[in-house]
C-alpha cells in the first residue's frame, strides 16, 4: 500500500475498514479493533488502524513510532491465533502516524483476545453465537465458499449422487437451493420443492456452473 493510498484512507470519513486511535488509547481497545478487523475484513480488502489520529482525522502523532510498532506486534502476537499484519509509519503535517494494515486471512479465523469480535458498520462488537460458528466454519475451504453464498443471498445448484459421484444414472438434481445453517461440520440446503438436505463438507464436491458465477454443490450422499 502506497503512502498516497494511506493518505487517502486517512482523509476519508471513518468507514467499516478504517479506524483512528490516539497514542494513549488503552491496550485493550487497540487489541479489540485488531481482532475485529482480522475476523471481518473481506478477501481483497485491507483494514487500517491509524494510531496517533483523532476521530475527526486531526493528526496528533506518536512520540516514539518504533516503540508503538513494537507494542502493536506484542498485542497482535498475544492474540490467538496471532494476527498477521503489516505496519507503516507515515508523516502527516510533520507528525508520525502508525498505520496498522490487516488483510483477510480466513484460514486463521477466528482470532481471540478475550471475547471474539466482529465488525458491524463502523463498530467492533462481540460476535454472537451464530457469528462465532460461522467464523469457525469458514476455516474449511469448502464451507467458506458455501458460507459466502449464504451471506450474499445467492442460491446454489445442488446435485445428489445416490451411489457415488461416478454413477450419473443414480442422481437427484435438487436444482437451485437456498443455503441454510452452516455449522463447523455440515451445511443445510433448502430446495424450492421438497425437504431440506444436509451433508457434511467431506461429502461435497464444489465446482462452478457454466456461467462461472453460480456455485454447484455435488454430494455423494
Average of per-residue pLDDT values in the chain: 89
pLDDT at residue number 14: 60
Over range 82-93, report the average pLDDT.
93
Q: Are residues 133 and 145 in the same domain?
A: no
**Residue 64, number of CB atoms within 10 A of its CB:** 12
Confidence of residue 90 (pLDDT cuts 50, 70, 90): very high
Q: Are residues 193 and 213 in the same domain?
A: yes
Over range 31-39, report the average pLDDT.
94
The DSSP call for residue 119 is E
The DSSP call for residue 59 is B
Q: Are 33 and 21 in contact (CB under 8 A)?
A: yes
Comparing 169 with 198, the larger pLDDT belongs to: 198
CA distances from 68 to 24, 74, 84, 173 (A): 10, 10, 16, 57
**CA–CA separation, 72 and 90 (whole Å):** 16
Task: Examine the pLDDT at 96 and tell me if it is beyond 90.
Answer: yes
Q: Are residues 124 and 162 in the same domain?
A: no
The three cell numbers locating residue 189: 440446503
Q: Are residues 75 and 11 in the same domain?
A: yes
Structural domain total, the chain: 2
**CA–CA separation, 151 and 197 (whole Å):** 19
User: 21: number of CA atoms within 13 Å, CB side?
Assistant: 21
Q: Provide the CATH number for the domain around residue 93.
A: 3.30.950.30
Q: Are residues 133 and 146 in the same domain?
A: no
Q: Are 66 and 72 in contact (CB under 8 A)?
A: no
Q: Are residues 118 and 211 in the same domain?
A: no
Q: Are residues 8 and 100 in the same domain?
A: yes
Which has the closest alpha carbon to 206: 165, 162, 168?
165
pLDDT at residue number 189: 96
pTM for the model stands at 0.64
pLDDT at residue number 184: 81
Dihedral, 132, 134, 138, 143 alpha carbons, nearest 10: 150
Q: Are residues 108 and 167 in the same domain?
A: no
Q: Are 120 and 105 in contact (CB under 8 A)?
A: no
Q: Percent of the chain, pLDDT > 70? A: 99
Q: Are residues 18 and 60 in the same domain?
A: yes
Q: Are residues 157 and 69 in the same domain?
A: no
Q: Are residues 133 and 184 in the same domain?
A: no
**CA–CA separation, 23 and 70 (whole Å):** 13
Tens digit of each residue's pLDDT (9 = 90 or more) over 110-120: 898 877 788 88
**CA–CA separation, 93 and 97 (whole Å):** 10
Containing structural domain, residue 202: 141-219
Over range 53-60, report the average pLDDT.
91
pLDDT at residue number 154: 95
Angle at 181 between CA 214 and CA 115, to 5 degrees: 115
Q: Are residues 129 and 149 in the same domain?
A: no
User: 166: number of CA atoms within 13 Å, CB side?
Assistant: 0
Q: Provide the CATH number for the domain around residue 172.
A: 2.30.30
Tens digit of each residue's pLDDT (9 = 90 or more) over 118-164: 888 888 888 887 787 778 777 788 888 999 899 899 999 999 988 77
Amino acid at each position: 500500500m502506497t503512502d498516497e493510498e494511506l493518505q487517502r484512507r486517512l482523509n476519508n470519513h471513518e468507514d467499516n475498514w478504517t479506524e483512528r486511535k490516539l497514542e494513549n488509547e488503552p491496550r485493550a481497545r487497540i487489541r479489540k479493533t485488531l481482532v475485529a478487523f482480522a475476523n471481518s475484513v473481506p478477501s481483497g480488502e485491507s483494514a487500517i488502524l491509524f494510531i496517533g489520529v483523532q476521530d475527526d482525522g486531526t493528526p496528533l502523532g506518536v512520540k516514539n513510532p518504533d516503540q508503538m510498532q513494537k507494542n502493536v506486534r506484542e498485542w497482535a502476537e498475544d492474540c490467538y491465533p496471532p494476527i498477521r499484519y503489516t505496519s507503516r509509519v507515515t508523516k502527516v503535517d510533520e507528525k508520525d502516524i502508525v498505520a496498522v494494515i490487516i488483510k483477510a486471512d480466513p484460514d486463521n479465523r477466528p482470532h481471540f483476545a478475550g471475547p471474539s469480535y466482529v465488525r458491524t458498520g463502523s463498530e467492533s462488537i462481540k460476535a454472537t453465537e451464530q457469528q462465532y460458528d460461522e467464523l469457525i466454519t469458514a476455516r474449511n475451504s469448502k464451507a467458506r465458499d458455501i458460507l459466502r453464498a449464504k451471506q450474499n443471498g445467492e442460491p446454489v445448484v445442488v446435485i445428489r449422487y445416490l451411489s457415488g459421484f461416478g454413477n450419473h444414472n443414480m442422481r437427484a438434481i435438487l436444482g437451485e437451493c437456498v443455503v441454510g445453517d452452516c455449522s463447523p461440520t455440515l451445511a443445510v440446503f433448502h430446495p424450492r420443492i421438497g425437504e431440506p438436505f444436509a451433508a457434511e463438507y467431506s461429502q461435497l464436491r464444489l465446482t462452478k456452473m457454466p456461467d462461472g458465477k453460480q456455485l454447484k454443490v455435488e454430494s455423494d450422499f
